[in-house]
Amino acid sequence: MPVYHARQIRLSEIGQAVGATIVGRPDTIVSGASSLELAEPGHLAYIDGDRFIKPALASRAAAFVVVRPIAEIDRPQLVIPNPKYIFARIVQQFFTRPDRARGVSDHITQGTDVRIGPDASIWPFVTLGDRVKIGARVTLYPGVFIGDDVTVGDDAVLYPNVTIREGCAIGARVIIHSGTVIGSDGFGYVPHEGRHHKIPQLGSVTIENDVELGANVTVDRATFGRTVIGRGTKVDNLVQIAHNVSIGADSILVAQVGIAGSTTLGHHVVVGGQAGLADHIEVGDQVMIAARSGVNRSLASNQIVSGAPVMPHEIAVKAQAIIPRLPELRQLVRDLEQRVRSLEAAKPARKKATGKRHP
């Protein structure tokens, strides 16, 4: 578990490590890192755009990571592209205490033919099934359950009470937060004579390298084959991923997303919170799905969509703007209908009057 580590370090050393240009005093001592609002004297913070210049002026930070020199600020600056990313690197490298291997606790339960790599940290009350393979420097916190024939890659971290069911594969540097269940049965039933009969779920789950899963995520095993979460994908808390779903690399799923069975997402897909995706559809690469969208059809690559049912975002925005006016528009339509009926009723009388004047 990453722990904040305060230390004293010169700004020049930080700048050299990340390749930044220093504006101001390079011998400034940096003792920590924080946000603009919470920074204390001696802290480093970052400025993510011009709209944060005013908060930066009010900040107590000793120095800033910026994308360009900011003349209004008289404190030292590390100038480098993408300051937010560089700031995250600085915090990781200089102000996060490195984990130390604690070894394997005597109070674990393990089956036969279990293989544990070097420098593992396995806390008490972990359960390892038969033929489990644990990579190097893996951390398993208390209450983790790993079923038979599971593999866990190097440097993976599984927080308390994570469950990995039998036959699943977890890649290297994967982070799984508390309460998440990998490999639970897919929701598959067949109706017969008025009852729902379970379809055996015989597949598995593959979590590829560098994936992070939030707390209380569920990833169901495939009916046959695999449910796959692609390399580098990040999944927020309380997300449901159904059987045989395939998610491409470097995608983002925000909290409370639900993806129904056998749906495929391409790479770099972003799905906003509480969006729901129907089963057996395909979402192309680099699609952005807005929060609370209802995706009931396949989507081509490189587009932004929103609404329920989903539609191009620019159309959904216009439709949303009309909704508050619907009562007014309804009344207008009723008034127009009444006027049309009145005009239609007046036509026979006019024709009759005209006929009398011009025989």
Q: CA dist 301 to 127, 262, 279, Å? A: 42, 18, 18
Average pLDDT over residues 230-234: 98
Instruction: Indicate if 192 belongs to the active site.
Output: no
DSSP 3-state assignment of 283? strand
Q: pLDDT digit string (tens) for 121-172?
A: 999 999 999 999 999 999 999 999 999 999 999 999 999 999 999 999 999 9
Residue given tokens 């209450």 in the structure block: 143
DSSP assignment string, 119-187: T-EE-TT-EE-TT-EE-TT-EE-TT-EE-TT-EE-TT-EE-TT-EE-TT-EE-TT-EE-TT-EEEEPP-
Q: Alpha-carbon distance 241 to 159, whole Å? A: 20
Rounded to the nearest integer, the mean pLDDT of the chain is 94
Q: pLDDT digit string (tens) for 322-359?
A: 989 999 999 999 999 999 998 888 877 666 666 655 55
Residues facing 115 on adjacent strands: 133
Q: Which of 43, 177, 243, 268 is catalytic?
A: 243
Q: Which CATH superfamily is domain 103-316 in?
A: Hexapeptide repeat proteins (2.160.10.10)
Answer yes or no: pTM beyond 0.85. yes
DSSP 3-state assignment of 193? coil
Name every residue whose Cβ is closer than 8 Å to that of residue 118 and which is 6 or more positions away in sequence. Answer: 136, 137
Backbone angles phi, psi at 340, to 5 degrees: -65, -45
Q: Could you tell me the fold of the domain covering 3-97?
A: 3.40.1390
Domain ranges of the chain: 3-97, 103-316, 325-357
